[in-house]
């Protein structure tokens, strides 16, 4: 188990061969799920582990929505739906990055909560430098809200408190180039400090050829030579819940 003090961000670098592919995304999300479950509730498991547990529970006839096993079944079902939705949206995001040659961060915030009475921040979606002249290159506010509503609907059956979290945001950034500022990240860091929530920051970096990307990796204290030709995701967890270290 990896530990750090509550004042220090935890960095998890997960190298992936092909970002946003049907293979690599489950790997990343499995690691994300395992991190949450292991460090928050001391139950180390991935989506596959959950699936096996569900199969055993079904064979033994053990059920019950109020039990931990029942909650795991609910979480498995909702997480698979979330994974599919995020995969679709990230693929869409990757397409726009390629087509529009964006030079500004693009931030999409997926907010997971324990009830439908969510704070207004769940709708804070920043879409920048979308190439309006290209077919299918724009997301409307309605499209984004529908996507987020699908996530919330899928997640509503199990609360974050069951997993030891009060709130979780997934923030997706475009590659940070030399002339950009990660204002979306700064905004969410300020928000997380003000609200004392846990933020999971997934920064997507596209690999190798851009010297600025390599420089940024060095700035973040990450070994730029690790998995030289592969892209990677940088995870940072800030503001641990009181009494919990990870």
Task: State the Cα–Cα distance between residues 199 and 96, nearest whole angstrom.
Answer: 25
pLDDT in tens, 36-54: 444 444 444 554 555 555 5
Confidence of residue 137 (pLDDT cuts 50, 70, 90): very low
Instruction: Give the whole-angstrom CA distance, residue 31 versus residue 165.
Output: 17
The model's pLDDT over 76-86, given as tens digits with 9 standing for 90+, comes to: 555 555 455 55
* Cβ atoms of 168 and 200 closer than 8 Å: yes
All structural domains of the chain with their residue ranges? 10-238
Q: List strands edge to edge, sheet with 108-112.
A: 10-16, 231-238, 198-205, 168-173, 108-112
Summarize the confidence of residues 10-22 as an average pLDDT.
Answer: 40
Name every residue whose Cβ is closer than 8 Å to that of residue 230 and which is 6 or more positions away in sequence: 15, 16, 17, 207
Taking the model in full, what pTM does it have? Answer: 0.32
Average pLDDT over residues 183-195: 50
Identify the DSSP state of 132. Answer: T
Per-residue confidence at 229, pLDDT binned at 50, 70, 90? very low
Query: Looking at residue 160, what is its pLDDT?
Result: 43
Lowest mean pLDDT among 93-107, 109-123, 149-163, 195-209: 109-123
Distance (Å, whole) CA 202 – CA 109: 10
Closest Cα partner for 82 from 106, 55, 110, 56?
110
In 113-197, DSSP assigns E strands to 168-173
Tokens of 227: 């998995």
Q: Would the CA dihedral through 22, 40, 79, 87 be positive or negative?
A: negative
**If you average pLDDT over residues 186-196, what whole number do you get?**
52
pLDDT, residue 30, reads 54
Query: What number is the average pLDDT over the span 205-212?
Result: 34
């Amino acid at each position: 188990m990896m530990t750090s003090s509550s004042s220090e961000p935890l960095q998890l670098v997960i190298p992936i061969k092909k970002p946003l592919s049907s293979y690599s995304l489950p790997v990343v999300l499995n690691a994300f799920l395992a991190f949450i479950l292991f460090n928050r509730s001391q139950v180390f498991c991935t989506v596959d582990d959950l699936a096996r547990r569900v199969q055993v529970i079904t064979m033994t006839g053990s059920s019950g929505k109020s039990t931990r096993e029942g909650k795991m079944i609910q979480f498995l079902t909702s997480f698979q739906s979330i994974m599919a939705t995020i995969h679709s949206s990230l693929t869409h995001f990757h397409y726009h990055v390629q087509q529009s040659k964006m030079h500004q961060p693009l931030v999409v915030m997926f907010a997971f909560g324990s009830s439908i009475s969510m704070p207004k921040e769940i709708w804070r979606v920043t879409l920048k430098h979308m190439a309006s002249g290209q077919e299918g290159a724009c997301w409307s506010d309605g499209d984004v809200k529908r996507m987020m509503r699908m996530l919330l609907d899928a997640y509503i059956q199990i609360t974050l408190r069951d997993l030891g979290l009060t709130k979780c945001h997934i923030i997706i950034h475009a590659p940070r180039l030399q002339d950009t500022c990660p204002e979306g990240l700064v905004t969410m860091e300020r928000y997380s400090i003000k609200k004392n929530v846990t933020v999971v920051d997934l920064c997507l970096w596209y690999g190798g050829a851009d010297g600025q990307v390599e420089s940024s990796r060095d700035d973040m204290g990450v070994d730029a030579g690790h998995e030289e030709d592969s892209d990677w995701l940088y995870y940072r967890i800030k503001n641990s819940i009181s009494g919990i270290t990870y």
